[in-house]
Structures are given as C-alpha cells and as structure tokens.
Amino acid sequence: MQLWSVVSSGDLWLEPSGHPTASKAGALGIWVGLGLVRTWFLVCWAFAVARSYTPRSRMCGRTSIHQSDFIFWGDPNRPLRYADDAMRFRKCRGACRARDEPLADRVYHCSYFEALHKKGKREGADVHLALYDHFCGWLQVCVWLDTMKSYLLAIFFLLLDAIIVMIISFIAISTSGRSSLLAHAPAVTRAVAIAIFLAGSNLWLKVRDLALRNVTISEKHQLRQVGGMRGGFWFALLPDRPEHEPDFQHFRGNPWDLGWQRNLSQVFGERLWDCLLPWTQPPRVRYYSDRRHVTDFEMSDAFWEWVRDKKENRFRTAGSESAVSGQQREADAAGTSIGAGTSIVAFSPASSLRSLSSNVHPRLQSPQRTPQEIPLPPSPSEL
C-alpha cells in the first residue's frame, strides 16, 4: 500500500512526473510479479516439504558395478544372500537401527529421521535416503533425491522475493517522510538479511555442490585429500559368474561428475520448460529403481574408461595365469603314459600347435616305424 501511495504522489521511478496512469500500471506490474514469485515459492516449498516427510526406500536390484565398502566383503558376519538378490556391499557405519540393511549407491544416513524415530514421533521412518545432503531447519525440508529440485527452486524464489521486497522498500523510504522510514525499517532489515543469507551462504553453496558438481556433503568428506592423496570411492566390479569373487577397486575423484551442463540436467531436467516446474522430476529420479541399468546413477566418461582398464588388466592377469597352468599340465602329462579312451584338449590362447600335438589321442597319432635290421656277414669260423 505504501508503494501505491507513492505512485499516487507521482514520485515513483517508473515514468516521468505527470504520468500517474503509467506509474500505477508499473506499480501494478510490480505487485503482480511479486505475487507470482511468492506464489511459486510457496508451491515449490510445499512440494519439498511433502516429499520430505514421505520418503521411499527403493532398493535397486543386482547391478554389475556398484559402490561398496572395502572392509565389508571381508566381514565374517555378512549375509550370503540379500533380499531381492541385490548383493550390495555397503552398510551404514552409524549406530542406527537399520545398520545391517544393505545400501545402494549414494544412499546415506539421515540423522533427522533417526532422531524422530528415537523420540517416537515417526515409527518406521526410513533413515537411509538416496543422495541425502542435509536437513534444512529454515524451511523444514529434508534435502535428498526427491526433494533436491524443489528445494533449490524454493530458495531461489525466496531470494527473488526478498530482492523485490527490498527494492520496493527502498523506493518507498526514499520518497516518503520520517514516519514511513520508521515503518519500513524492519522490512528492509529483514529483506536484506534474508537476501544476504540465501545468496551468500545457502543458495550459491547448494547450487554449486548439488547442481554444478553433483556431490553431497557426505561425498565431499570422502573426496578430501588425506596425506597428500586424493580421496575417492570404492567400487565392486562383479564378474560374469556369481560364484566368482568380485573385484574391489578404488576410484580417485568424483565418478558422478558429468560436467556442469549434464549435472544441471540431472537436477532440474533435460527440457528447458521443466526446469521451473517443481512437480516434474528429472530422469535420474524416475529411473532410479530401474533394474535394466548397469549402475544406479549415470557415471562419468572417465569412470567408464577406468572400469575398462581394470577389466582388461583382470582378463590379462587371468590369461597369463591360465597359460602358466596349461604349460604346467603339459609338462606333467609328458612324463606319464596316456591311457586308452577319449581325451579332451583344453585350448588356451597361449597354446601353440606343437603343444597341442602332444595331447592328441594315441589312436590318431601315426605309428612309429623302427628301422629294419641289416644282417651281418658270417664270421670265418662259420665258413
């Protein structure tokens, strides 16, 4: 209303003095824009709160490559089989009620729901959430996979709302008397405080980490350098046959960093008109529990090159070991007699035609010919 009174006096900085109709139209546009921004903030915040208090624990199926704890495979208390044949090698390291529950990739402990469960306020609440980052006490939002987009949109529109209110308050203060200045001083102070807090300590930090770098608070701790060595994550590379042991390898760096453009599409969506809609979810949320994928989340190109190198090294090591064992078997077979019956020839890439010829069945070998005996001339006594 103070802005409207300023417009009536003709002192608004939208049109030159003497154009009250245009000034009122400009003021009306400001109020409509402020109303839309505030309404959109409330919508985004409502979606974030609703998804925060209805978390869904989605355990993915058996994948070929997944995140793991290196010490978990050697744990003698680990179960041989898991529910849904997941074969996951991660579990919560905190003292929570579900510490024996296997965890999928990028699933972390939620201390807020654990505290509610201990107080008896939320029975059966899931304490392990995918891409869990933190609990925002200002907005009462649990930031994880399903709420990340709506949470970032909410704080963005809240910042935009605070900036608009601050501009309107400055206009009203600069064109009014002392009483108006005192009336708007609390509003200006509150708007400036909210704008500084969101822009400086919350909005940029969360957009930088969650949207541009695709990393959570828990993952940032694992990526820190310890003793001059770059941090990273352990992964289990499962073999083709389930009876074989998995190969545990350590990847240095963030395997989910796809570049800032693809990281933004992971959070806000691939289409431009979906970025500002809080009720639409990006593909990684919709396809998170899809069992047809090799991994739970999309991985970087550097990670797939690293996986290919590890598998090639493993195949090369296995081939050299099989060649050595094949040569040892050939050496053992050379000193023993080959009995009758059909024998199986095990082909190895390192075997040669000469080594294979020693294992051919005796019936297929050409008979050995002994040289004919040459008669000696008679001795003189016989004559």
How does strand 232-237 pair with strand 247-252?
antiparallel
Rounded-to-10 torsion of CA 51, 57, 61, 66: 80
User: What is the tens place of the pLDDT at every residue in 63-99?
Assistant: 788 888 765 555 555 544 444 455 677 887 766 766 6
CB-neighbour burial class of residue 74 (10 A; exposed 0-12, middle 13-18, buried 19+) = exposed
Choose from 22-31, 231-240, 277-286, 356-365 the range with maximum mean pLDDT: 277-286
User: What is the tens place of the pLDDT at every residue in 181-234?
Assistant: 556 666 676 777 777 777 777 888 999 999 999 999 989 988 886 655 668 898
Instruction: Tell me the C-alpha distance between 356 and 329, whole Å.
Output: 12
Of 266, 229, 267, which is closest to residue 251 (Cα–Cα)?
A: 229
Give me the sign of the Cα torsion angle 332, 338, 339, 342: positive
User: What pLDDT does 83 receive?
Assistant: 46
Whether this prediction's pTM lies above 0.85 is answered by: no
Of 34, 27, 31, 30, which is closest to residue 7 (Cα–Cα)?
A: 27
pLDDT averaged over every residue in the chain? 72
Rounded-to-10 torsion of CA 3, 8, 11, 13: 60
Of 352, 369, 359, 360, which is closest to residue 334 (Cα–Cα)?
A: 359
Distances (CA, A) of 372 to 172, 365, 366, 368, 377: 127, 21, 18, 13, 16
Six token digits for residue 65 = 């490559």
Structural domain boundaries in the chain: 2-57+96-223
Mean pLDDT of 104-121: 80
- Going by pLDDT thresholds of 50, 70 and 90, the confidence category of residue 357 is very low
Mean pLDDT of 168-173: 71
Name the amino acid, one letter, at 27.
A
| Three-state secondary structure call for residue 86 | coil
363 touches 338 (CB < 8 A): no
User: What pLDDT does 350 receive?
Assistant: 36
What is the percentage of the chain residues whose pLDDT exceeds 90? 20
329 touches 359 (CB < 8 A): no
Name the amino acid, one letter, at 378.
P
| Three-state secondary structure call for residue 41 | helix
Residue 105: enclosing H or E segment and its boundaries? none
User: What pLDDT does 272 receive?
Assistant: 84
User: What is the tens place of the pLDDT at every residue in 139-166?
Assistant: 889 999 999 999 999 999 988 888 887 7
User: What is the tens place of the pLDDT at every residue in 318-354?
Assistant: 666 655 565 666 655 555 444 434 333 333 333 333 3
